[in-house]
Amino acid sequence: MKDNLPESWIVIEEGLPGRTTVFDDPITAFRKGAGFLSALLETHIPLDLLIIMLGTNDAKCRFSAPAYDIGLGLGVLVDEVRGFPFGQRGEYAPGILIVAPPPILSVQGTPESFIGAPEKSKNFAEVFRKVAEEKDCLFFDSGQIISSSPIDGLHFSAESHRDLGRALARYLAPILKERTTHGHSFDR
C-alpha cells in the first residue's frame, strides 16, 4: 500500500501471524489483539489512521465463535482505541478503518483448525460493516478486491497483497488528504 501513497505518508505494518481480536489462543500464545493494541498505540503515536484487518484467525474452530461474535471482538478493539488517553499526551485519536478479510475458502490445503470457518467467514463483510457503522469507523470489504489463496484457503498471494494495497490507497488517499487539509476529523 505504501508504494501507492504520497512519499510523505508513513505506513507502519504490525502484522503478526495468528493474531486474533480478543481470543487467547492456547496453542499459539501472545496473539490476542485486545490489550496489546494499547501498547502498539503507545509505541507509534501520533497516528492519523489505524487500519484493523482481523477476524480470519478468530474463525478457528477452537474458539467456537460465529461471525457475530468475531464482530463484537472488533468492537472491543475499537473501544480500546477510543479509550486510549491520546489527549493526555497532546495527541488526537486516529481515525479507524475496519477492513473485512476476504472469505476463507474451503480447499484441500485448509488446516483442520479452520473446519467450519469458510461458512462463517462468508458473513464477515456484512457483520464488520455493521460494526463500523455502529462504532463510526470507516469500512472496506477486501473480498470485493481479492480472494484467499486457492492453496490453503486463508492467505493472500503476492498479487493479492499488491491489489489490496492499491485499492486501499485509492480508497484512503482522498480521505487522508481531506483530513490533513482540514484538520483531524474522520467523517464517513
- In the chain, domain spans: 2-182
Is residue 124 within 8 Å of residue 65, measured between CB atoms? no
pLDDT at residue number 88: 84
> Under 8 Å CB-to-CB from 164, ≥6 apart: which residues?
1, 142, 145, 146, 156
Mean pLDDT within 161-188: 78
Cα–Cα distance for residue pair 137/120, rounded to 1 Å = 23
Residue type, 23: F
Is residue 92 within 8 Å of residue 86, measured between CB atoms? yes
Of the chain, the percentage scoring pLDDT greater than 70 comes to: 93
Is residue 57 within 8 Å of residue 19, measured between CB atoms? yes
- pLDDT confidence tier of residue 179, bands split at 50, 70 and 90: low
- pLDDT by residue (tens digit) across 116-158? 999 999 999 999 999 999 999 999 999 999 999 999 999 999 9
Cα–Cα distance for residue pair 42/70, rounded to 1 Å = 25
For domain 2-182, the CATH superfamily is: SGNH hydrolase (3.40.50.1110)
This prediction's pTM: 0.92
- pLDDT by residue (tens digit) across 6-33? 787 888 999 899 999 999 999 999 999 9
What single-letter DSSP state applies at residue 7? T
pLDDT at residue number 181: 59
Strand segments, DSSP code E, in the chain are 49-52, 95-100, 138-141
Cα–Cα distance for residue pair 68/54, rounded to 1 Å = 13
> Within 13 Å, how many C-alpha atoms sit on residue 69's CB side?
12
Is residue 112 within 8 Å of residue 147, measured between CB atoms? no
- pLDDT by residue (tens digit) across 57-103? 999 999 999 999 999 999 999 999 999 999 887 888 999 999 999 99
